[in-house]
Amino acid sequence: MKNRQLEFKTKFWRDAAARLPVRYHADLQRAERVELALGRLVDAFRRVKNALGRRPFHTPRGAH
């Protein structure tokens, strides 16, 4: 088996893997992948929102 410390990208999941039995290792890896994917999705939505907010001919906020 590979070193468990190297298989996780974030400290939280490395610490969790160190404290839990090996049988939970695959579940922890899946959870970390889901967490990282959700983080990327949130970042992408934030970039889209910011890009749309900087359009040159948008309606001013106080106009409504």
DSSP state of 58: P
- The per-residue pLDDT for 63 is 62
CA dist 34 and 41 (Å) reads 10
Specify the pTM. Answer: 0.68
What pLDDT score was predicted for residue 7?
Answer: 84
Given a cut of 70, the residues of the chain with pLDDT beneath it are 1-6, 54-60, 63-64
10 within 8 A of 32, measured Cβ to Cβ:
yes
Question: For the residues of 7-27, what is the DSSP string, one character each?
Answer: H-SSHHHHHHHHHS-GGGHHH
In the chain, domain spans: 4-55
58: burial class by Cβ within 10 Å (0-12, 13-18, 19+)?
Answer: exposed
